[in-house]
């Protein structure tokens, strides 16, 4: 149940246990750009979707929910959450590939990679590339840039960015080499400030019909993001040589290229690379047999470009094409059943401003996507924008999906369009959570357990985490919300800040809002702190404006620089705190003036990540997450600070309901402890920490904000950049999360066990054990263990010394010491049988394993029946029995316990626990006695505990 790692840090011991947690998303449904959807051609109902910052998804055909396949992406490789392109093997349904990496500029410090899976994305192999990949760069909706040869699926081609050209693999993506004969690598870059690298190759398309099974496909088409020369190239020798297709269209960028069995290559063009631009474009059909290009655009004077392109595999003259960006009044889908010679529009004008729709649309599972502020001809529910991904199910002509900047729309009766009936569109993004979350607050009262602010869609108030809220924050609406807070003593008063109009105020628990008055010059929300009694301190952008105080309107604070991370005291409404550089600031007059209170903290830059928070119910109690500087705590308003030992990195800090028996909130951080990145919880003011996530649940970048739930112990909410709002709960009967540190803690499962008697001094009296502080046994008790002092038993659950006349010291009866060949002596005295394996019977003598003589009959009455002892006694207590040959970790009144597959298991009473090469630890709770250490760090019923050689040991009272 608990998987623990032991590290000695400075002078303290920090043990972190990996605790079983259940992780989910607070339902929003969508919320970000879906630039790619891929239906498998090898298996029905196997569908993948890629996102630009939130990883790769696979559709669960039973639940019709998408499942994220990239939750394993962590802090060190966070860029792998950006999926620049993907493909499903058209031959082997189990194989899927993606090119990962977030940016080609220096925002992403790592090179990209090709990841490949042979089990549909459950597990991945990583082939690192010698260059970067731009999953969130301009042009990310083009493609797909990677493709599997449908006639020889060992072969893949991948089109790179940044002038790196075309690459080829011949071993299922394990290794890659550049195709140097492909020389037009693309020179166009969309942005001269941030995205200066060329967008490069836009698509790779195999003409499966030009080849035969088992041989490389000869004809391959590649598009290039270049508007100054030829943009579509062909190889007719399986990629050995390449030529530009003659007479091709000029001045536009090719986005999608797909070929049909009759030799027609369809290409959508736009005057930009997307996903936001596009004011002109065209659709062309190229006859690969005759060399003829034909403009088949459905709109001859477009105010938009063309992006998504779908071909019906059941009838390859049936096409659907989408506008890349028709922002007003709505996107347009066009459908042709004759190869593009004629087209039907999804909506048409019916006397301005009225429109005639050929569809009905249902946003009910994601109702916030409706915008009731829109006025005709704009609909309240739009078909979308940034439509680059558009696919018809190859096994079902009625099923279509397309990705937008906010969700996935789809239909399952598409062919109604052809018969004049309305077809039905609904949100098909259930399970996709792709928001960039900026701040989270879980209030102590009210019907909502969580309020959030985030990028692109503002923020939400969740009364049910499993249900998408009806609306996002509106009136005013922020495109992006950056910070939110409430008054601890006036809990119906809330403030949030974001993009224009920058500040919003609520006296209705965050259900209704109105605009506040921002100071002149504000361009972005920054961070806001609401005092316990409702006063407000605000640190907006640009940072050189400074910090402000007020409520409905604001004045400049004095004594604190702009860009400081700020928070309010959660008890005293007059007190606010700030943190910038290495300095801690405090105001005692509601933010009018601040003074420097403490210097020498870890350096921190201006920003609005949640690095500073005060504890509810504890005046002057503040925690600072100093990033690589660690974690700091003050209980006197910043007069003094304590550095929390063992915390190497603390990105952000939050609080939740206290553990049972504690009057102090649980702490939550994202960071690094014991050289392990993760999400951690402490129930004792940071003395001990438990890692509550695991390597399969890392969620990329999680360094912005975190909060516990003040009403539910163990629950934590985590801000992610692309994975939405992630929250975790302790997973059922997973045990108590415990850990140890240099100033307190526990060492095992239940702290049950008896004190080790390995190091007792000799006594010559009949009751020899009294000199050692233990009584002699009064009744007939069984020998439990022996050491140099004598034999020990248990009476009334306490250790007692067995009178010496009661012990026998007979030697081996037959003189045959079979265990010596295995590296262990034979037992010399009359010792108790402990366990058996294929070699023989084993006992313990002088705290060492020994082999019982073959003729010995020293088994206790409890161990005479091997068949009965082998029963899985621990199942009655909710734990499995151990399956392997492993040593026990501790014992209690039920039996011996060990750990297998990170879970507690009961050691079968007759199971061989001893291999030929492994000794089990023996001593109290499975730990030895200290040989010389006397410093007590912890006490339980076994005695006082210390640390020696980096591990727990029981203090020997005879020497201390």
Q: Which residues are catalytic?
A: 52, 456
- CA dist 283 and 361 (Å) reads 27
Cβ–Cβ under 8 Å, residues 412 and 29:
no
Beta bridge partners of 36: 50
Cβ–Cβ under 8 Å, residues 200 and 225:
yes
Structure tokens at 947: 């640390």
Structure tokens at 403: 């990705």
- CA dist 804 and 825 (Å) reads 23
Cβ–Cβ under 8 Å, residues 462 and 23:
no
Cβ–Cβ under 8 Å, residues 919 and 823:
no
Q: What share of the chain is helix, strand, coil (3-state, %, to 5)?
A: 5, 35, 60
Residue 208 C-alpha from the chain's centroid: 38
CA 774, 776, 778, 781: dihedral to nearest 10 degrees? 90
Cβ–Cβ under 8 Å, residues 466 and 29:
no
Beta bridge partners of 403: 408
DSSP 8-class letter at 496: E
In the three-class reduction of DSSP (H, G, I as helix; E, B as strand; rest coil), residue 5 is classed as strand
Which H or E run contains 868? helix 866-869
Closest CA to 99 of 148, 65, 59: 148
Q: What is the DSSP string of 887-934?
A: ---EE-SS-EEEEETTEEEEPPTTS----SS-PPP-SGGG-PBPSS--
CA 661, 665, 671, 673: dihedral to nearest 10 degrees? -30
In the three-class reduction of DSSP (H, G, I as helix; E, B as strand; rest coil), residue 28 is classed as coil
- CA dist 614 and 701 (Å) reads 24
Buried b (16+ CB within 10 A) or exposed e, 809-833: eeebeeeebbbeebebebbbbbbbb
Cβ–Cβ under 8 Å, residues 527 and 484:
no
Beta bridge partners of 8: 13
- Label residue 918 exposed, middle or buried (CB < 10 Å: 0-12, 13-18, 19+): exposed
Angle at 765 between CA 760 and CA 766, to 5 degrees: 105
The full length of the chain comes to 960
Phi, psi of 496 (to 5 degrees): -130, 150
Cβ–Cβ under 8 Å, residues 202 and 159:
yes
Cβ–Cβ under 8 Å, residues 454 and 435:
yes
Phi, psi of 842 (to 5 degrees): -125, 145
Closest CA to 95 of 149, 159, 134: 149
- Label residue 676 exposed, middle or buried (CB < 10 Å: 0-12, 13-18, 19+): middle
CA separation, residue 811 to residues 9, 814, 829, 844, 852 (Å): 48, 9, 6, 15, 10
Strands 612-614 and 595-604: unpaired
Closest CA to 580 of 611, 542, 553, 558: 611
Beta bridge partners of 454: 437, 458
- CA dist 921 and 344 (Å) reads 77
């Amino acid at each position: 149940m608990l998987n623990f790692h032991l590290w000695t840090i400075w002078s303290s011991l920090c043990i972190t246990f990996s605790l079983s947690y259940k992780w989910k998303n607070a339902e929003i449904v969508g919320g970000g750009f879906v630039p790619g959807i891929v239906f498998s051609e090898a298996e029905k109902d196997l569908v993948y979707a890629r996102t630009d910052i939130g990883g790769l998804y696979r559709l669960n055909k039973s639940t019709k929910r998408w499942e994220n396949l990239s939750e394993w992406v962590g802090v060190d490789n966070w860029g792998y959450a950006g999926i620049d392109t993907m493909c499903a093997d058209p031959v082997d349904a189990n194989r899927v590939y993606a090119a990962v990496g977030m940016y080609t500029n220096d925002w992403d410090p790592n090179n990209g990679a090709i990841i490949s899976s042979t089990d549909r994305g459950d597990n991945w192999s990583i082939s690192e590339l010698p260059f970067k990949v731009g999953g969130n760069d301009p042009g990310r909706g083009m493609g797909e840039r990677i493709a599997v040869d449908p006639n020889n699926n060992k072969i893949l081609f991948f089109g790179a960015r940044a002038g790196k050209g075309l690459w080829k693999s011949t071993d299922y993506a394990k290794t890659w080499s550049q195709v140097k004969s492909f020389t037009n690598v693309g020179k166009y870059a969309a942005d001269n400030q941030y995205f200066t690298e060329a967008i490069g190759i836009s698509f790779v398309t195999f003409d499966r019909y030009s080849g035969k099974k088992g041989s490389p496909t000869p004809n391959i088409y590649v598009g290039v993001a270049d508007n100054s020369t030829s943009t579509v190239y062909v190889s007719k020798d399986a990629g050995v040589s390449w030529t530009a297709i003659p007479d091709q269209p000029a001045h536009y960028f090719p986005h999608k290229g797909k070929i049909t069995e009759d030799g027609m290559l369809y290409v959508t063009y736009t005057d930009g690379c997307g996903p936001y631009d596009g004011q002109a474009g065209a659709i062309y059909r190229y006859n690969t047999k005759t060399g003829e290009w034909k403009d088949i655009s459905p709109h001859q004077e477009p105010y938009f470009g063309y992006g998504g392109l779908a071909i019906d595999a059941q009838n390859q003259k049936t096409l659907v094409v989408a506008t890349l960006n028709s922002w007003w009044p709505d996107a347009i889908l066009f459908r042709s059943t004759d190869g593009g010679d004629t087209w039907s529009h999804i909506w048409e004008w019916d006397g301005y401003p009225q429109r005639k729709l050929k569809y009905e649309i249902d946003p009910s599972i994601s109702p916030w996507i409706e915008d009731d502020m829109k006025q005709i001809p704009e609909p309240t529910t739009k078909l979308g924008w940034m439509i680059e991904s558009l696919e018809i199910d190859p096994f079902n002509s009625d099923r279509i999906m397309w990705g937008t900047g906010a969700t996935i729309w789809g239909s399952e009766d598409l062919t109604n369009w052809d018969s004049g009936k309305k077809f039905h569109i609904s949100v098909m993004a259930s399970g996709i959570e792709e928001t960039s979350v900026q701040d989270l607050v879980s209030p102590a009262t009210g019907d909502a357990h969580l309020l959030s602010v985030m990028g692109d869609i503002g923020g939400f108030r969740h009364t049910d985490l499993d249900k998408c809220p009806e609306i996002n924050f509106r009136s005013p609406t922020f495109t992006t919300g950056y910070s939110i807070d409430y008054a601890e003593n006036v809990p119906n008063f809330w403030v949030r800040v974001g993009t224009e109009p920058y500040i919003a105020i609520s006296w209705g628990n965050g259900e209704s809002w109105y605009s506040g008055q921002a100071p002149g010059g504000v361009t972005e929300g920054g961070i806001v702190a609401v005092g316990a009694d409702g006063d407000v301190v605000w640190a907006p952008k640009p940072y050189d404006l400074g910090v402000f105080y007020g409520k409905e309107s604001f004045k400049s604070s004095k004594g604190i620089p702009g860009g400081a991370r700020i928070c309010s005291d959660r008890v005293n409404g007059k007190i606010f705190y700030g943190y910038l550089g290495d300095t801690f600031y405090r105001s005692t007059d509601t933010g009018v003036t601040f003074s420097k209170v403490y210097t020498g903290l870890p350096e921190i830059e201006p920003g609005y990540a949640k690095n500073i928070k005060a504890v509810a119910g504890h005046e002057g109690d503040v925690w600072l997450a100093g990033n690589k500087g660690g974690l700091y705590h003050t209980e006197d308003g910043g007069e003094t600070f304590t550095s929390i030992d063992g915390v190497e990195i603390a990105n952000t800090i939050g609080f939740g309901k206290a553990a049972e028996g504690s009057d102090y909130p649980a702490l939550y951080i994202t960071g690094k402890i014991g050289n392990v990145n993760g999400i951690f919880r402490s129930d004792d003011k940071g003395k001990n920490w438990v890692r509550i996530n695991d390597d399969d649940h890392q969620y990329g970048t999680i360094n912005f904000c975190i909060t516990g739930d003040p009403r539910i112990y163990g629950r934590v909410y985590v801000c992610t950049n692309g994975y939405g709002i992630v929250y975790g709960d302790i997973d059922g009967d997973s045990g108590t999360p415990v850990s140890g540190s240099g100033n307190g803690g526990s060492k095992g499962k239940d702290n049950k066990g008896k004190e080790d008697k390995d190091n007792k001094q000799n006594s010559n009296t009949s009751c020899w054990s009294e000199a050692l502080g233990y009584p002699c046994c009064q009744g007939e008790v069984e020998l439990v263990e022996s050491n140099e002092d004598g034999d020990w038993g248990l009476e009334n659950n306490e250790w007692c010394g067995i009178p010496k006349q009661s012990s026998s010291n007979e030697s081996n009866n037959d003189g045959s010491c079979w265990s010596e060949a295995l590296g262990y002596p034979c037992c010399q005295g009359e010792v108790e049988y402990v366990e058996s394996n294929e070699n023989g019977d084993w006992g313990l003598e002088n705290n060492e394993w020994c082999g019982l003589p073959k003729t010995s009959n020293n088994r206790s009455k409890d161990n005479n029946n091997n068949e009965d002892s082998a029963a899985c006694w621990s199942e009655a207590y909710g734990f499995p029995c151990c399956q392997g040959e492993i040593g026990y970790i501790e014992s209690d009144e039920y039996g011996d316990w060990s750990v297998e597959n990170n879970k507690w298991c009961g050691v079968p009473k007759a199971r061989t626990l001893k291999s030929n090469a492994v000794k089990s630890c023996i001593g109290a709770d499975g730990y030895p006695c200290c040989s010389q250490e006397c410093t007590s760090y912890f006490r339980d019923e076994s005695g006082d505990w210390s640390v020696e050689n980096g591990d727990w040991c029981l203090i020997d009272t005879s020497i201390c």
